[in-house]
Copies of this chain bind each other. A is one copy, B any other.
Amino acid sequence: MSQKRAVVLLSGGLDSTTVLGHALAEGWAAHALSFDYGQRHRLELDRAAEIAAALGAVEHRVVRVDLGSFGASALTDEIPVPKDRVDLGGDIPVTYVPARNTVFLSLALAWAETLNCTDLFVGVNALDYSGYPDCRPEYLAAFETLANLATKLGVEGGPPFRVHAPLLELSKADIVRMAVRLGLDLSRTVSCYDPSNDGVPCGRCDACQLRAKGFAEAGVADPALAGRPSKVGSE
């Protein structure tokens, strides 16, 4: 009845699916939000819709924002996705999409305000990650500050905006364990930056490597790979 509403960013990957499951388990009425931003791998939008429905989000919305028109990222442009990188914690890679989380959180903020809610959930993670600047705790804190200055809800003295990032300090293995504990079906999640058209992960991009490491360290088989030929090692 008076269940508290939250906007949950949902890409359809392991992390955001776990965050959605976590928010629902905490009792939030979750409004899931995905973006059609010109990404190369549009499969994730279908998977996000599927996952939102399966987990029990109140609704799922896909908002178009034409980030692809700016180019300059391997996720939206004709730049090849790097494979088999060794030092994943080093330089910011070409899969970085300029200001992506800021654009996404801004749109989440806009929707939250129309829903009259002040809680946002996001699956960013500052431990096993690719070194994107907009995944760090100080970034999220600055966004909260901004949100409370930017909005009608923020200035009217109600509860302040809060960006919940429950995965922030977790390793990928911890995230897999959290998902398992929550009983989430991860078989339809897609993490790969460069999947085949029918959804087979490449196994070699940063996202595939981090995911594989997480499942391995958690001692769990990745259900998304069950019954599928892995492309790892093949070419």
Which residues of A approach B to under 8 Å, CB–CB? 61, 63-67, 69-72, 92, 96-103, 106-107, 109-111, 113-114, 133-134, 136, 138-139, 142-143, 145-147, 149-152, 154-155
A102 is contacted by which of B61, B63, B66, B109 (Cβ under 8 Å)? B109
Chain B contacts of A69 at CB under 8 A? Answer: 61, 63
The answer to whether B113 and A72 have CB atoms under 8 Å apart is: yes
Q: Is the CB of B114 within 8 A of A106?
A: no
Judge whether A99 and B64 touch: CB under 8 Å: no
A65: chain B residues at CB < 8 Å are 63-66, 107
Kindly state the separation between the CA atoms of A147 and B145 in the bound complex, as whole angstroms. 13
A98 to chain B, nearest CB (A): 4
Given A111-B70, A113-B98, A134 contacting B106 (CB threshold 8 A): no
A66 engages B67 (CB within 8 Å): no
Choose among B134, B145, B152 the residue that contacts A133 (Cβ–Cβ < 8 A). B152
Q: Is the CB of A146 within 8 A of B151?
A: no
Q: Are A99 and B145 in contact (CB under 8 A)?
A: no
CB distance from A157 to the nearest CB of B (A): 12
- The smallest beta-carbon distance between A28 and chain B, in angstroms, is 19
Contact check: which of B71, B102, B149 meets A139 at CB < 8 Å? B149
**Would A114 and B71 count as touching, CB distance under 8 A?**
yes
Contacts of A102 in B (CB 8 A): 106, 109-110, 146-147, 150-151
> Roughly how many angstroms separate A103 CA and B106 CA in the complex, as a whole number?
5
- Knowing A66-B64, A110-B67, A114-B71 touch, does A155 contact B133 (C-beta < 8 A)? yes
- Contact (A149, B142) CB under 8 Å given A103-B106, A113-B99: yes
Complex contact A98–B103 (CB within 8 A): no
Closest B residue, CB atoms, query A138:
B149
